[in-house]
Chain A
């Protein structure tokens, strides 16, 4: 088990609503990345935060936004939910030094269902 925790475990929302997912990084890690994983697919990169600043972004619209806090915990916010947003949302923490990182430690994920 990694030291990365995520909440909630499961969530059901209605199309058009907004959702906030939370992640607590492994102790000592200063970088957090968020991924979306649809059923049967690999995780897709949403964005990464390093020292509270967005440090890279994948091909996701602006209604996906995030925050990283001074204690390195993080939030993923999704506005105007669409049915296709139904997926497993994973956060991963890592330790970046000099702008580089290696293995990522994933949390158990939040299963979001949009109806």
Chain B
């Protein structure tokens, strides 16, 4: 069956370092992949979208890669700040819920220490 996996363990890093989060998927052929940020008690906020024919996408301190052969996306935050502390979700369109739905991973919590 289709599955999206994100590291369920929290990632703790020091301010100024680069945070790298991983999203792996199986039994999908997504046209694109999205990353969202979610703060406690709030709805997810869209960050970046990367299409299957794009290898890399950047937005300010954020970088996303998409390897359809490995079925993996990496999400990087460079020069991390305590304000980047949040849960980061990856999402694919389609899957068992149909082409119109987004299917989310369970998220990885990032904690940036000052």
* A residues adjacent to B (C-beta < 8 A): 2, 4, 33, 35, 40-45, 48, 50, 55-59, 90, 92, 99, 101-109, 111
Partner of B44, one of A41, A44, A106, A111: A106
Question: Nearest CB to that of A58 among chain B residues?
Answer: B97
Instruction: A103 to B44: give the CA distance in the assembly, Å.
Output: 11
What residues on B are CB-neighbors of A58 within 8 Å?
A: 97-98, 101
Partner of B106, one of A42, A59, A102, A105: A42
6 A/B residue pairs, CB under 8 Å, sorted by A: A41-B107, A42-B105, A56-B100, A59-B97, A90-B44, A99-B100
3 shortest interchain CB distances as A-B pairs: A106-B43, A42-B104, A103-B46
* B residues adjacent to A (C-beta < 8 A): 4, 32, 34, 36, 41-46, 49, 89, 91, 96-107
Also in contact, A33 and B102, with CB within 8 A (given A42-B89, A45-B97, A103-B34): yes
What residues on A are CB-neighbors of B45 within 8 Å?
A: 2, 106
Instruction: A43 to B46: give the CA distance in the assembly, Å.
Output: 13
B46 touches A104 (CB 8 A): yes
Instruction: A60 to B2: give the CA distance in the assembly, Å.
Output: 17
Q: How far is the CB of B89 from chain A (nearest CB, A)?
A: 5
Partner of A45, one of B41, B89, B103: B103
Also in contact, A102 and B43, with CB within 8 A (given A42-B104, A56-B97): no
Also in contact, A56 and B46, with CB within 8 A (given A42-B104, A42-B107): no
Question: Nearest CB to that of A102 among chain B residues?
Answer: B49
Q: How far is the CB of B42 from chain A (nearest CB, A)?
A: 6
Q: How far is the CB of B19 from chain A (nearest CB, A)?
A: 19
Also in contact, A103 and B43, with CB within 8 A (given A41-B106, A45-B101): no
Instruction: A41 to B4: give the CA distance in the assembly, Å.
Output: 12
A105 touches B102 (CB 8 A): no
A43 touches B44 (CB 8 A): yes
